[in-house]
């Protein structure tokens, strides 16, 4: 029996990997799936890049059967282009298509996408309508509490999303103005759940599995989504929790590097691989020296050898 359901898709866990720009690639999604993530979401995919079939954008859709169920997240502000992009996404067999209506990063919002859509719910509604009409799979929406502390939009977006055909909504408890600073407000997640006829997913400040379950219990939301709390911490997706000693985390680091070696260009993306690997080492004696050594490794082989030397 599943914990929760989106449309006809049942999930055996209530913890989801959030879309993380620059991080939620195939190797990281596969690792999180292996550690228990119910659903994994891709990095934000530009609707224009997809429609123009740009090589870099298409490469972000790399997937596999072990990646399922996977949600591909679209962003953009042109309803027709978003609809066309959704139709193209069907070719890549996602389980779900998500629409980003909450990213606060300026390069996204200055084009009227992401969190900027919270200023124009009618445009957001038109975009959602076009995507739903062109998608062969359930469509979800990810948004935020609101624009700032004086302008809460999450409840209006929840009503709009369910009335326009969305199968679920994810609400990040911070405002656009907050970005990623301060604490997430989970009261807004509870309020949205009270009025919603579709599943509500909460997001913000989840760093451990039990922490996620507590948020579900307190707010009544259907699931939680973990973003930055999953970096270097795939244990957030299961009750085992993060190991207390360095030797306990090595299997995850090595597995992550193994997946990156299979799916990435280890020569061109070595800096990215070192960045991921270093995130596992914190709150242990000597971790700063380990991170320094990781960042000094000049090849993937040197990095692997160093990690094996730790135990």
C-alpha 16/C-alpha 223 separation (Å) is 7
Give me the mean pLDDT over the 68-94 stretch.
98
Please state the rounded mean pLDDT for residues 269-292: 95
pLDDT of 53 > 80? The answer is: yes
Mean pLDDT of 66-70: 97
pLDDT at 92: 97
Domains of the chain, by residue range, sit at: 4-237, 246-309
CATH topology of domain 4-237: TIM Barrel (3.20.20)
pLDDT, mean of residues 208-230: 97
- Tell me what percent of the residues of the chain surpass a pLDDT of 90: 95
Please compute, for residue 140, the number of CA atoms within 13 A of its CA located in the half-sphere on the CB side: 27
pLDDT exceeds 80 at position 203 = yes
Structure tokens at 105: 């990063």
Q: Report the pLDDT value the prediction gives residue 3, as an integer from 0 to 100.
A: 83
Residue with tokens 């989970």: 186
pLDDT at residue 245, rounded to an integer: 87
Give the 3-state DSSP-derived string for 227-267, with helices as H, strands as E and coil as C: CHHHCCCHHHHCCCCCCCCHHHHHHHHHHHHHHHHHHCCCC
* Catalytic status, residue 103: yes
pLDDT tens digits, 115-174: 999 999 999 999 999 999 999 999 999 999 999 999 999 999 999 999 999 999 999 999
Percent of the chain clearing pLDDT 70 (strictly above): 99
CA distances to 159, 170, 225, 227, 309 from 19, rounded to whole Å, are: 23, 11, 9, 7, 33
**Does residue 1 surpass a pLDDT of 60?**
no
The model's pTM is 0.96
Q: What is the 3-state secondary structure (H, E, C) of 9-42?
A: EEECCCEEECCCCCCCCHHHHHHHHHCCCCCEEE
Average pLDDT over residues 2-19: 94
Catalytic, out of 47, 103, 170, 221: 103
As a whole number, the mean pLDDT across the chain is 96
Residue 223 scores a pLDDT above 50 = yes
Does the pLDDT of residue 37 top 80, yes or no? yes
Check whether 278 has a pLDDT greater than 80: yes
pLDDT at 2: 62
Q: Taking residues 229-254, what's their average pLDDT?
A: 94
């Amino acid at each position: 029996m599943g914990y929760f359901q989106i449309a006809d898709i049942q999930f055996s866990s209530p913890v989801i990997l959030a879309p993380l720009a620059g991080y939620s690639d195939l190797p990281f999604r596969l690792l999180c799936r292996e550690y228990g993530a119910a659903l994994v979401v891709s990095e934000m995919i530009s609707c224009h890049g997809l429609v123009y079939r740009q090589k870099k954008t298409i490469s972000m859709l790399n997937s596999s059967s072990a990646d399922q169920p996977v949600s591909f997240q679209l962003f953009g502000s042109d309803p027709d282009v978003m609809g066309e992009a959704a139709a193209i996404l069907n070719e890549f067999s996602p389980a779900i298509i998500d629409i980003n209506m909450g990213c606060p990063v300026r390069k996204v919002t200055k084009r009227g996408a992401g969190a900027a859509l919270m200023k124009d719910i009618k445009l957001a509604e038109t975009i959602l309508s076009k995507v739903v009409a062109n998608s062969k799979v359930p469509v979800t929406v990810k948004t935020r509490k609101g624009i700032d502390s004086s302008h809460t939009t999450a409840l209006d977006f929840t009503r709009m999303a369910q009335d326009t055909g969305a199968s679920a909504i994810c609400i990040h408890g911070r405002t656009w103005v907050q970005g990623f600073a301060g604490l997430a407000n989970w009261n807004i997640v509870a309020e949205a759940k009270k009025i919603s006829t579709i599943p509500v997913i909460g997001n913000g400040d989840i760093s451990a599995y039990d922490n996620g379950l507590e948020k579900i219990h307190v707010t009544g939301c259907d699931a939680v989504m973990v973003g930055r709390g999953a970096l270097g911490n795939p244990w957030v997706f299961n009750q085992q929790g993060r190991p207390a000693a360095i030797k306990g985390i090595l299997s995850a680091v090595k597995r992550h590097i193994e997946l990156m070696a299979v799916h990435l260009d280890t020569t061109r993306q070595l800096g990215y691989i070192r960045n991921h690997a270093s995130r596992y080492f914190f709150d242990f004696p000597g971790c700063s020296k380990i991170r320094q050594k990781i960042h000094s490794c000049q090849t993937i082989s040197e990095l692997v050898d160093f990690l094996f030397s730790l135990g």
